[in-house]
Amino acid sequence: MRAVYQANRGQALEDLIKLANDRYRSRKLAVIHKVPTAWVPIRGPGGKIVSAKVEEKASVDFLGHVLLSSGPLPLAFDAKEVSRGDRWPLSKLEPHQYEYLRDCALTGAFSFVLIGFWELERFFILPFPELERRWAAWKDRTGPASVRAGESGLVEVKFWDYLSFVL
């Protein structure tokens, strides 16, 4: 049972994001897609696929762009969730994901982490500049190792329109 749970963690939040993204696209406000994870099949005797492993580390969960009055704004973000409590550990963001978000931000994209706190039924955007500040403090051991729901620097969003503060 545990393996199934681990394999599907984050799926509910990603499914909600995909539904919201379909609404943005149908309204011609944004085009945002889930980045698929590349898998390599592992074959057993007779060539039958018996398992699979990740081919390469994915960049982030979602890429796309939103249409602003000034023109398109590229987006890159990762979706994270907290099933219980009001804290999301920074350690749940892989270093390669942080670096990808940083690189996107440096080239003009709006990069962020979308965090869902299920028990609280609240969702927050952690914009990259705030993530960068917190990440550096955490790595230097001068700041907390987690982000708390509702803290300064987070932007609370309503789920079906999680990009409303940008549009």
- The CATH number of the domain holding residue 100 is 3.40.1350.10
Residue 4 lies in a domain: no
Task: Specify if 166 maps to a domain.
Answer: no
Residue 131 contacts residue 87 (beta carbons within 8 Å): no
- Report the DSSP pairing between strands 146-148 and 122-127: unpaired
Across 50-54, 131-135, 149-153, least confident range: 50-54
Reported confidence tier of residue 6, pLDDT bands at 50, 70, 90: very low
pLDDT digits (tens, 9 = 90+) for 101-119: 999 999 999 999 999 999 9
Residue 5 belongs to some domain of the structure? no
Q: Kindly tell me if the per-residue pLDDT of 69 is higher than 90.
A: yes
Q: How far apart are CA 5 and CA 149, in angstroms?
A: 24
Q: Number of structural domains, the chain?
A: 1
The CA-atom distances, in angstroms, between 115 and each of 16, 42, 123 are 12, 33, 6
142: in domain: yes
Task: Specify the pTM.
Answer: 0.85
Residue 32 lies in a domain: yes
| Mean per-residue pLDDT of the chain | 89
Residue 55 has pLDDT above 80, yes or no: no
**Angstrom distance (rounded) from CA 74 to CA 65:** 4
Q: Helices 95-106 and 128-139, interaxial angle, to 10°?
A: 140
**Domain membership flag for residue 167:** no
Number of Cβ within 10 Å of residue 50's Cβ equals: 10
Question: Which range of residues forms the domain containing residue 97?
Answer: 10-161
Is position 3 within any domain? no
Q: Does residue 147 contact residue 123 with C-beta atoms inside 8 Å?
A: no
Across the range 89-97, mean pLDDT stands at 96
Is 132 within a domain? Answer: yes
